[in-house]
Amino acid sequence: MFPARASFTVPLPSGAALTLGERCLVMGILNVTPDSFAERERRADPAAAVDAALAMEAGGADIIDVGGESTRPGADTVSEADELARVVPVIAALARRLRAPISIDTTKAAVARAAVDAGASIVNDVSGFRRDPALARVVADTGAAVILMHMRGTPATMGSHADYEDVVEDAARELRESMTLGRAAGIGDDRVVLDPGIGFAKRPAHSYGVLARLPELASALGRPLLVGPSRKSFMSGALDGRPAVERDWGTAAAVTAAVLAGAHIVRVHAVAEMAQVVRVAEEIRRHQP
């Protein structure tokens, strides 16, 4: 028997809301960076990025996540000015054309504020409010929903922090600490989605363990879960060392496992293909006794 998936309504600044739990939503990854680890095509040009996002929506994306700074292992930081220049024109253009809500993938308060002003309604913070102390206040002030991810250190240093007594218990505790930071800034729990951070400050065994024990994590946290396994290196060993752009079959297996385990959102690169995977996995869930 697959675990039940709790239902949540996450308010957005427009007065609309994300309805989570009826089915697993698909978040499309739109990297507008010159150094994405997992894509064949670069989308630093705003027009190309807009076209890619529209294609994602047509292919089944429920949310578009725009990022202007790579978070791949070992990645260097990007200046605030460069990140703003990359993401704000794209978000402003998409806000006029997309039906799907837009998420800004950033750890910087100024970038988040400008992105929401341009039309984003969700802030996706891979640091879980631990990088920029002002970010939580921006989320509170703008009324944006927020995704808080579990990570230790930075993309450049996170590999040295992958030591756990119990990866699920430790991640749950640290995600609760991120929620506490949000509450202190005035963010209600109803606006929070949590991400266990597959591949971030985790060895492959940790990432597989989080996927295998996702229902336990959901029970411990009591909030909707986003799972982002797409093309990540934790599956490289199982796939004979294939490069990131050749890991979509492995991603499909991880996405299926996440959906069956009760994930509310999956974050993926190959939207059209993974939307099909999600739909079939949902049918399997629906036909259990």
pLDDT in tens, 88-138: 999 999 999 999 999 999 999 999 999 999 999 999 999 999 999 999 999
Mean per-residue pLDDT of the chain: 95
Does residue 54 carry a pLDDT above 60? yes
The per-residue pLDDT for 38 is 57
Does residue 76 carry a pLDDT above 80? no
Does residue 40 carry a pLDDT above 60? no
Catalytic residue among 108, 213, 232, 247: 232
Does residue 211 carry a pLDDT above 90? yes
The per-residue pLDDT for 55 is 97
| Segment 258-289, tens digit of pLDDT | 999 999 999 999 999 999 999 999 999 999 98
Separation of alpha carbons 106 and 66, rounded Å: 9
- Catalytic residue flag (residue 202): no
- Catalytic residue flag (residue 286): no
The per-residue pLDDT for 44 is 65
Verdict on whether the full-model pTM lies above 0.85: yes
Does residue 6 carry a pLDDT above 90? yes
The per-residue pLDDT for 261 is 98
Q: Is 241 left (phi over 0), alpha (psi -120 to 50) or beta?
A: left
- Overall size of the chain counted in residues: 289
Catalytic residue among 5, 43, 247, 267: 267
The per-residue pLDDT for 212 is 97
The per-residue pLDDT for 43 is 63
pLDDT cut 90: percent of the chain above it: 88
* Mean pLDDT, range 50-76, rounded to an integer: 90
The per-residue pLDDT for 204 is 97
The per-residue pLDDT for 37 is 56
Does residue 159 carry a pLDDT above 90? no
- Topology annotation, domain 8-286: TIM Barrel (3.20.20)
Does residue 41 carry a pLDDT above 90? no
**Structural domain boundaries in the chain:** 8-286
